[in-house]
Structure 1
Amino acid sequence: MGDILLYKRGGPNVTDYLVKAIRRDDSGKGANRQLRREGKIPAVLYGNEDAPEKLVIETRDFERLLKQGALGKLVNVEFKAGRSKKAVPALLKEVQTEPLNGKVMHVDFQAVDMKQEIGTIVAIHYTGEERRVNDGSVIQPLLREVNVTCLPDRIPSFFEVDISGLQAGESITVSTLKPEEGVTIQTPAEEVLVTAALVHQEAEAETAEGAEAGAEDAGAEAGGEAKEDAGK
């Protein structure tokens, strides 16, 4: 079937992601199952000048690309069209996985116009936890990504959030993110990214609530017994 390759050329820009694929003629559940048995993934490129392109990519290489954070990013999809090659800038839009084992089943690429803004997601990377003072709290990330709009070649690789100074009971919101010019964050500014939860206090509160509830139950039971005795 020829070489099928996905890789990141190097450097911080999202346009460095390159997907080499081949066209496929067969479609349907049977053909897709056969591709997966061969270690390949069926894919579709939508939004191109022509009809949607049915493609094939290698499972192992694609999973490696996902680990590099390519989901929601701009990639160049390269494949043969007759005797020539086509390279189409596209958003890695959707990855369908098998619910039980997480195996990639299908991939959607969305061709883009480099002069028009698009909406996508950008991952949040939390750093500095090893430098935090141990105050009995536990870091709880509430968001792993945010929604943004920008030109395709301006998509950030990720947003970095330093949590080294986060103290017990404090939180960091989306409003603290500082995107580059041309990038607009669509996730509400007041949404909490990460918090330092007071685990011990929460546990004590739950224990106190449990004890109070137990006392109420015991009181109710004693009252019921007293009523029964009075009725005898």
Structure 2
Amino acid sequence: MRQVNLSVVKREKTGKECAKKLRKQGLIPAIVYGHNFDPVPISVKANELESILHKYKGETLLFNLEVQNGETQRIQAILKDYQLHPVTDKIIHLDFVAIKEGETVSIDVPLEFVGRPVGLTKGGVIEIFMHDLTVECLPSNIPDKIQVDISNLDLGDVLHVKDIKVPEGVKVLDDPEDTVITIVAEGGEGEGASTEESE
């Protein structure tokens, strides 16, 4: 798992008004919490975070947070969740989970689909229902992404969560019977996001 450094500032004040002021200054309000860990309210420079997320798009990141509050406190954390503005799609709040080696964490890991399904040559289209898996493992075992070879999928085939192989030490928390991908006849799509190509 890739590690990135991010300087943040501890917030002394919280609440909606404080959050609004921070955003006007180009900062994102955030919180760091975890098991046996006192929550720490922080603010993050929006341009720094967006640059990191853009550069390492599609990867699971371990953040080395350098919390400035008179003296520097270092916290290792993963980005658990974030909220987007409904109009601008800008990040307006972040949730980080502090991690300790030896304690398992649950995290969403991106799926990377490789290969071109044979079903596409027969006029089929891909329906993608899941773009990541929720897994539980030790921090050192968190994969950047999980590769899934879909080249053998034929027209009418369904790939379920249980069909995906994950690295040793990684436990999948999603329902094994959940549908990840299907190859359907063109015009017979369901609710998934359809695409005719796969990287």
Q: TM-score, normalised by structure 2?
A: 0.82
Give 1:41 deviation, angstroms.
0.5
Alignment of 1:122-133 (within 5 A): 122-129=109-116, 133=120
Map of 1:76 onto structure 2: 64
CA distance in structure 1 between the aligned counterparts of 2:170 and 2:37, rounded to whole angstroms: 30
Q: Indicate how the Cα distance of structure 1 residues 18 and 70 shifts in structure 2: closer, same or farther if over 3 A, else same.
A: farther
Greater RCO (CA < 8 Å, at least 6 residues apart): 2
CA distance 1:122–1:98, change in 2 (3 Å): same
Q: 1:71 to 1:22 in 2, by over 3 A?
A: farther
CA distance in 1: counterparts of 2:171 and 2:134, whole angstroms: 9
- What's the secondary structure of 1:64's corresponding residue? helix
Q: TM-score, normalised by structure 1?
A: 0.71
How many angstroms apart in 1 are the aligned matches of 2:24 and 2:171? 42
Match 2:100 to one of 106, 113, 117: 113
Structure 2: runs of 5+ lacking an equivalent? 190-199
Give the count of matched residue pairs. Answer: 188
Identity %: 28
Deviation of residue 48 (structure 1)? 7.7
Deviation at 1:77, TM superposition (A): 1.4
Larger Rg: 1
Residue 46 in 1 paired to residue 33 in 2? yes
Matches within 5 A, 1:76-155: 76-83=64-71, 85-129=72-116, 133-155=120-142
Instruction: Give 1 or 2: higher helix fraction.
Output: 1
- Name the Cα RMSD after superposition: 2.5
Which whole-Å CA distance do the structure 1 matches of 2:12 and 2:181 have between them? 47
The farther-off stretch of 42-51 and 142-151 is 42-51
C-alpha distance in structure 2 between counterparts of 1:198 and 1:110, whole Å: 42
- Relative to its length, the structure with more strand (as a share) is 2
For 1:18 and 1:55, how far apart are their aligned partners in 2? 15
Letter paired with 2:140: D
Please point out which of 8, 14, 18 is paired with 2:5. 18
- Alignment-mate amino acid for residue 60 of structure 1: N
User: Which residue pairs with 1:183 in the alignment?
Assistant: 170
Answer yes or no: is the 8 Å Cα contact 2:83–2:92 preserved in 1: yes
Alpha-carbon spacing, 1:70–1:93, altered in 2? closer, same or farther (3 Å): farther
Distance in 2 (CA, whole Å) between partners of 1:61 and 1:155 is 23
